[in-house]
């Protein structure tokens, strides 16, 4: 009998009842890891030496999971999917990993990501492209691509991710699973490679809303090593989730969700938005109030540019220590300047180098006011707009992306610029640090698509309860992608 395709609660019950052992779970997860690696290239490291632990009353004890390769893991290769750290082995654990170790969770692999979390395709990791387990001609999105692929393929019930723009929530949608980033600072980022510190969130990819809540309950907590973390000890997400949708108030943004705004829409976008509006009707049937709201289109269109400017600026600063002098493979040269230049020129992918160039440019004294400071002002306008919505509504509901996962061959295709705001709108959740969760919302052309629910800061229980109510009344809970096991 297979157990890795079950929920955390089901696996825990089987362990407590003696139906399965921790050793057997690890063996099953490792076997599936190697099978998926051959099909989809989801892992940087597979820990064949993973050890058994004692089963306790903690729901995570003894259950295997995956770790995105930007979480520091003591004594285990941690590369950030970059050649600049291809041999880096940390001497300490990230706080989130320490917390999961205390819970008795068993890490069995480190998952491939876009290099240092930059990029939304899962194609820039130094070990190669991650393929979608629903259709291996398509991407998983990024940057948490390996984690999404592994959870969708049933390697284990959950894996860790990070989310700076939509890097948990969009891969979740493309892989037909749940992706949850809690309120900024609920989970300590200590020991996680920084990308853009004001936008970075830790979180989880799972196959059910309750599983996501269980994992975050065990990851979260205030941490003296992360000044942005906060005390959430009075919040128990798993125990607080309710399936009581009546009276909840949701809104969706007309400028993003109305098909008439996309005169050149292809069949996938049309079907995706049809799915979304059917779910809106489902919300109403369940007793939720759902209203259409309007947001200035110019402001929405600015979101992606704001994101690029801010994350590039913060990344160029955060990663200035990647010189090849302190750690990483040494570059060649007659002096330390030449060595650093060689290390960074040959170590980083073209995408990373472009981001660093942009970041350095917008931070130059003569450019800072025009680009960086203006981006921060636009960020504030977007956050204030969403906070105003949260004064009336429990959450904003929206489709994720512009359809199912893109084909690899179409990555350089020029899409209708009218769709950029829709495709990139999840970044607003990072601008404001809002709790945000993606859940499956059916299929388009036999490929999964998702919807997102975003609420106000610290209102995670409400956001998860809305998602759980919807999940409980749809048919897409605990989906497994079978494509990788065919032929």
Give the catalytic positions in this structure: 68, 143, 167
Output the six-digit token pair for 235.
């919040």
Q: For residue 381, which of 425, 419, 334, 431 has the smallest C-alpha distance?
A: 431
Identify the helix (H) or strand (E) that includes residue 215. Answer: helix 209-219
Looking at 152-297, which runs of residues are DSSP E strands? Answer: 158-163, 178-181, 201-206, 249-253, 289-293
| 353 C-beta neighbours (distance < 10 Å), count | 13
Per the DSSP assignment, residues forming a β-bridge with 448 are 443
Output the six-digit token pair for 18.
């003696």
Q: Please, are residues 216 and 240 in contact by the beta-carbon 8 Å criterion?
A: no
Q: For residue 155, which of 100, 203, 107 has the smallest C-alpha distance?
A: 107
Residues 6+ apart with CB under 8 A from 475: none
Q: Please, are residues 193 and 117 in contact by the beta-carbon 8 Å criterion?
A: yes
Output the six-digit token pair for 484.
């990788």
Q: For residue 428, which of 162, 164, 172, 175 has the smallest C-alpha distance?
A: 164
Q: Please, are residues 216 and 237 in contact by the beta-carbon 8 Å criterion?
A: yes
Is residue 262 packed enough to be buried (19+ CB in 10 Å), middle (13-18) or exposed (0-12)?
middle
Per the DSSP assignment, residues forming a β-bridge with 132 are 135
Q: For residue 478, which of 157, 65, 140 has the smallest C-alpha distance?
A: 157
Identify the helix (H) or strand (E) that includes residue 110. Answer: strand 106-111
Order of strands across the sheet with 395-399?
43-46, 106-111, 64-68, 158-163, 201-206, 178-181, 436-444, 447-454, 395-399, 249-253, 289-293
Residues 6+ apart with CB under 8 A from 227: none
| 354 C-beta neighbours (distance < 10 Å), count | 13
Q: Please, are residues 289 and 421 in contact by the beta-carbon 8 Å criterion?
A: no
Give residue 283's Cα distance to chain centre.
25
Q: How far from 332 is each of 326, 451, 460, CA to CA, in Å?
A: 14, 48, 49
Residue found under tokens 């609420």: 455
**d(C-alpha 59, C-alpha 34), whole Å:** 26
Residue found under tokens 């929206």: 398
Peptide bond into 427 cis (omega under 30): no
């Amino acid at each position: 009998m297979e157990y890795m395709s079950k929920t955390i609660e089901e696996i825990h019950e089987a362990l407590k009842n003696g139906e399965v052992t921790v050793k057997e779970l690890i063996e099953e997860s490792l076997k599936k890891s190697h099978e998926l690696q051959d099909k989809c290239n989801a892992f940087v490291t597979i820990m064949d030496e993973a050890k058994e632990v004692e089963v306790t009353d903690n729901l995570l004890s003894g259950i295997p999971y995956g770790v995105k390769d930007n979480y520091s893991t003591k004594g285990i290769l941690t590369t950030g999917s970059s050649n600049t750290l291809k041999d880096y082995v940390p001497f300490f654990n990230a706080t989130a990993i320490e917390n999961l170790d205390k819970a008795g969770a068993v890490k069995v692999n480190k998952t491939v990501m876009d290099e240092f979390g930059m990029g939304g395709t899962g194609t820039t990791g130094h070990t190669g492209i991650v393929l979608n387990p629903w259709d291996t001609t398509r991407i998983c999105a990024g940057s948490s691509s390996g984690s999404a692929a592994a959870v969708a393929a049933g390697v284990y019930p959950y894996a860790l991710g990070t989310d700076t723009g939509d890097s948990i929530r969009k891969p979740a949608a493309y892989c037909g699973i749940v992706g949850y980033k809690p309120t900024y600072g609920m989970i300590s980022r200590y020991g996680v490679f920084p990308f853009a510190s004001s936008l970075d969130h830790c979180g989880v990819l799972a196959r059910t809303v309750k599983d996501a809540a269980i994992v975050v309950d065990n990851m979260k907590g205030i941490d003296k090593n992360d000044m942005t973390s906060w005390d959430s000890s009075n919040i128990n997400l798993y125990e607080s989730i309710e399936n009581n949708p009546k009276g909840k108030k949701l809104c969706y943004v007309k400028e993003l969700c109305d098909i008439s705004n996309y005169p050149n829409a292809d069949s996938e976008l049309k079907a995706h938005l049809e799915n979304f509006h059917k779910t809106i009707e489902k919300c109403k049937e369940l007793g939720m109030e759902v209203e259409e709201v309007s947001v200035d289109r110019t402001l929405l269109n600015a979101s992606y540019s704001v994101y690029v400017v801010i994350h590039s600026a913060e990344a160029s600063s955060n990663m200035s220590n990647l010189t090849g002098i302190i750690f990483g493979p040494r570059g060649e040269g007659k002096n330390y300047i030449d060595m650093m230049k060689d290390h960074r020129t040959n170590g980083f992918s073209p995408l990373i180098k472009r981001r660093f160039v942009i970041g350095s440019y917008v931070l130059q004294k003569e450019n800072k006011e025009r680009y960086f400071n203006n981006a921060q002002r636009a960020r504030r306008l977007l956050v204030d707009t969403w906070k105003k919505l949260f004064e009336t509504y429990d959450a904003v509901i929206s489709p994720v992306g512009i359809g199912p996962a893109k084909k690899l061959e179409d990555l350089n295709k020029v899409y209708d610029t009218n769709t950029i705001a829709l495709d990139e709108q999840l970044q607003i959740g990072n601008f404001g640090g809002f709790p945000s969760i993606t859940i499956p919302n059916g299929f388009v052309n036999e490929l999964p698509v998702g919807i997102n629910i975003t609420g106000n800061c610290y209102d995670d229980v409400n956001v998860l309860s809305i998602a759980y109510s919807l999940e409980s009344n749809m048919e897409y809970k605990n989906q497994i992608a079978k494509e990788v096991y065919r032929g």
